[in-house]
Amino acid sequence: MAAIVLAVILLPRVFLALHQPDFRYPDERLYFDIAKHISQENRYAVTHAGAPFAVRQAPGLPVTLGVVDKFCDLTPLKVKLINGMVSALTAVLYGLAVWVMTRNRTAVVVMVLMAGLHPVLLYAGITNYPQTYQGFWFAGLVAWLCWRYSSCKGKRPVTGLWDGVLAGMGALYVPTQLFILPALIAFHFRRGASWVTRYTLFVALGLILTISPWMVRNALVEREFIPFSTSGGEQLFLGFNEQAGMNTGIQITLPPDLANKIEKAESGKAVERHFAAYAKTWIQAHPLSALKLLALKLLNFFRLNNGAMVTEAERSTAREGMAAATTLFVFGMALWGSWELRRRMPEWTVFTAVLMLALAAGHACFIARYRYRLPFEPYLLFVGVIGWFSARKRV
């Protein structure tokens, strides 16, 4: 049975990768090029035209592909197949989490098939974006929480160290993974204040231990304090300027004065500072417009048509309708599951609510592309499955 389920979720990914074997978007190629530099020259380097970014992207995806490239000469098709496999393994991790919580094989199969065949994730999962790996590490964190919740509750102290390590691993791929930290703390809301404080400190320790090798590398090589990358200032600028909207991105044109400063910048950190300074100045000059943008971007995180199906296919009414329908289904599952769990396992209801709000609010402070929600949609399905099983037991 396990082999059949794995084949069912892997084969569509293989088909989509073979159907569109090359990259279609600049960031996909950018991650691939950095990985080749890491593999062939043992250094992080960005060769695309533009500003002199020191660490243009977070290290997780290019380092992962760079290591793989040392053993297997990567091509775009191979990268897509690898990423598709990681996407499928994410569904398997959620199946494992369901098994830990329910010991019910039917619930596990339902979970793996729903997460593995989620249409938008099929398309997004094979692209060369780090959100696929972000979702994988978050699934690992959820599985770990489930094991600890069901097996160790009240039997041994919970330090939170591994929670921080798993969150940090995801942040090395997508730094906004840090937005999940309030949900981790809220998960233990029924503990005392002193316990939660100790737990938070251990989470922070685990996080620091995970990202410190990269920070030390940047301090030695780049001679700058760079926890993840130097793109934070650019993200802030993209979210707050006269051209910004609820779903803005690289289509924004740089103002002449900012473009001149970027061109003359001597380091990636200087580029980041110029972007951030412009955004902060604009926010101070247009506080009402900034608040409006913040609200729009907060709503955009919950947009029905998440746009992921156009990553590997041309936009069409049918695809947009399918994306919207699946999003409604995911949201419906999460709401229903959270309602069913509110009394039997309220930790998961609180975790889900805080997670979604923290992610939406965090991204609203920068840019809130609706595909940023995709790594967490399998979790929303997980809540629905656990709620369904809880309701069955009650009946």
Q: What is the per-residue pLDDT across 196-224, written as a single tens digit (0 to 9) for each?
A: 999 999 999 999 999 999 999 999 988 88
Q: CB pairs under 8 A, 24+ apart, for 141-147?
A: 141/166, 141/167, 141/170, 141/180, 142/93, 142/94, 142/97, 142/379, 142/382, 143/93, 143/94, 143/96, 143/97, 143/100, 145/187, 146/97, 146/100, 146/101, 147/100
The token duo for 183 is: 């949900």
Would you say residue 187 has pLDDT above 90? yes
Q: Can you tell me the mean pLDDT for 353-359?
A: 97
Token output for 25: 């978007």
3-class DSSP state of 252: coil
Confidence of residue 159 (pLDDT cuts 50, 70, 90): confident
- Whether 50 shows a pLDDT value over 70: the answer reads no
Strands (DSSP E) found in 180-238: none
Side chain identity at 224, as an amino acid letter? E
Q: What is the pLDDT of residue 311?
A: 47
Count of other CB atoms within 10 angstroms of residue 226: 21
Residues of 362-373 as b/e, b for ≥16 C-beta within 10 angstroms? bbbbbbbbbbbb
Task: Please indicate whether residue 192 or residue 182 has the higher confidence score (pLDDT).
Answer: 182
CB 94 within 8 A of CB 382: yes
Neighbours of 248 (CB within 10 A): 19
Query: What is the number of domains present in the chain?
Result: 1
* Full domain range(s) for residue 9: 2-394
The Cα 194–Cα 215 span in angstroms is 30
pLDDT for residue 313? 47
Q: Average model confidence (pLDDT) for the chain?
A: 89
∠ at Cα 141 (139, 143), nearest 5°?
Answer: 70
Question: Residue 312 pLDDT more than 60?
Answer: no
Average of pLDDT values for 60-73? 95
What is residue 86's predicted lDDT score, i.e. its pLDDT? Answer: 97
pLDDT at 316: 64
Query: Where is average pLDDT lowest: 168-182, 296-310, 338-352?
Result: 296-310
- The b/e string for 92-121 (b: 16+ C-beta within 10 A; e otherwise) is bbbbbbbbbbbebeebbbbbbebbbebebb
Can you tell me whether residue 104 is helix, strand or coil?
coil
